[in-house]
Structure 1
Amino acid sequence: MTLAAALSYAVVADRTPRPRNADALMFQRLDGSAAGLASFRGQAVLLTVWATWCWSCREEMPALARLHRSLDGRPPAVIALSVDRDGAEVVEPLLDQLNIADLPVYLDPTGASVGQLSISGLPTTILFGPDGSERGRWFGVRAWDEKPMIDEIAALLARAPQGGAR
């Protein structure tokens, strides 16, 4: 399936407030050291939950990496959280295959993030505002580096939070 076809089936951003403490979400860096969503507090974060076995995830990773590069340190911080049980052992070879070197990728080999963030399918991307509120949620493949998507993210970040917190 092409990216354009996948986009035609994708669900629009779900802005339903989800009260939860996502700050408690813990994961690992590729080197195995501990990290967590709390370390991003005060920053807007675009968090994509994905897996190497998910073909849709593989399709959108290059666009996510291009978005990260194009932002050049401007908000939101773009991070990809892999829920592969085998962790870096399977993630790093795929990143090499896709020629993705600069996208911040983290690991959740326990899959705890799926339950904590109420994720029902992959890829799922959640936009958190700097205050920790969930500003948007997308299911399925997106053209993250294209202007309409970048504009949608900017508009969601510009709006006041509607409830829910990390």
Structure 2
Amino acid sequence: MTAKKVPAAKLIAIAGVAGLFAGAAAIYVIESQSGNGKAVASASSAECGAAAALAESLVPLSKGQVAAMMSVPEHRKLPDLSFTGPDGAPKRIADFSGKTLLVNLWATWCVPCREEMPALNALQKSMGSDRFEVVAINIDTGTDDKPKAFLEETGVHDLAYYRDSSMETFNTLKKEGLAFGLPATLLMDEKGCLVSSMNGPAAWDSDDAKALIGAAIGTRPAT
């Protein structure tokens, strides 16, 4: 089935409403009491210096459909988020070393997430490579039935199926001050250093988004 494209204006409206409730995670998610392992020390400024420079260079491109993607106060490595891959085997962010990542947390019961997924799928289809990947992590509790059915119904077939039914990934990012609700999105460089982040949806299939990602990976977006 062909993915239904959501008008950019609708995503912007959803993002605006989400922003009003950014401090109230209960609007989108009920937090579990688990953690995602012990917090690790921040990387040295030298280790993530390139991420800081990249974030500065992307500031002019954080506009329009991706205006909410903002540089973070500290460019650092995060506790290594754990989830499962398409085959059900454990995965960690460190497994993607060498790739720039757009990490997105989503759930089927999050309306803005549902609206955003086809756009993320389109971004992966047009720009995914050995240098860049959209890592969309579903955090529905329970079985795989609902998320897989949603992806099939909406024609989202270009995103790899990553999953964390424990919600530990969300809780870790919440403790790090990076996730206040869903969707939550992080841009990470090829060393796993945090470049920028945003809460709320975006039109990831827009020219603004492709320009931002193209600059992040040092290439022009596909046309």
State the TM-score, normalized to the length of structure 1: 0.84
- Which residue of structure 2 aligns with residue 5 of structure 1? 13
The 8 Å contact of residues 50 and 83 in structure 1, kept in 2 or not, is answered as: yes
**For 1:91, which of 116, 128, 147 is the aligned residue?**
147
**Unaligned residue ranges in structure 2 (runs of 5+):** 1-8, 20-66, 219-223
- Which residue of structure 2 aligns with residue 45 of structure 1? 101
Counterpart secondary structure, 2:180? coil
Quote the Cα distance in structure 2 between the aligned partners of 1:110 and 1:38: 19
- Greater share of strand residues, 1 or 2? 1
Q: Deviations over 1:94-117 (max 9, x none)?
A: 101111112112011111111222
Quote the Cα distance in structure 1 between the aligned partners of 2:188 and 2:165: 22
Aligned-residue identity in percent: 29
Larger deviation, residues 96-105 vs 45-54: 96-105
The 8 Å contact of residues 113 and 183 in structure 2, kept in 1 or not, is answered as: yes
Counterpart secondary structure, 1:2? helix
Quote the Cα distance in structure 2 between the aligned partners of 1:136 and 1:154: 15
Larger deviation, residues 9-18 vs 110-119: 9-18
Counterpart secondary structure, 2:70? coil
Root-mean-square deviation over aligned CA pairs:
2.1
- Which residue of structure 2 aligns with residue 32 of structure 1? 88
The 8 Å contact of residues 79 and 104 in structure 1, kept in 2 or not, is answered as: yes
**Unaligned residue ranges in structure 1 (runs of 5+):** 159-166
Q: Deviations over 1:16-35 (max 9, x none)?
A: 1264534x211012442211
Quote the Cα distance in structure 2 between the aligned partners of 1:79 and 1:139: 16
